[in-house]
Amino acid sequence: MDFFSFFKKKDSNASKDVAKDRLKLVLVHDRVNCSSQVLEMLKTDIIKVISNYMEIDEEELDIQITQTQSEDNTGTVPVLYANIPIKSMRKVNQED
């Protein structure tokens, strides 16, 4: 066993990938001027509105701002991604 191999980092790619993903997320939020407080307020408002129509699993709710390829393939654009598990639909009085 090599003495220096004991001090080498194991699985450095995993931590590198996590750091890279975090940096991408920070850059996306910075580009769209969306702080974590604004994202939390947005999440709260979305929950409030959707809860009028359906019961949702708030603990499994996932809302993010990410980047995706633009439709004309000229670059990337920010997108709001929302994964909202629905438990059941509520009965809503429809008024015209």
> What is the rounded end-to-end Cα distance, in angstroms, of the chain?
78
Distance (Å, whole) CA 44 – CA 55: 14
Q: Give the model's pLDDT for residue 57.
A: 93
Q: For residue range 84-95, list pLDDT tens digits in order.
A: 999 999 887 776
User: Can you give the pLDDT at residue 88?
Assistant: 95
On the CB side of 28, CA atoms within 13 Å amount to 19
* Model confidence, pTM: 0.55
pLDDT given for residue 26 in this prediction: 67
pLDDT of residue 11: 56
Radius of gyration of the chain (CA): 20
- The ranges of the chain with pLDDT < 50 are none
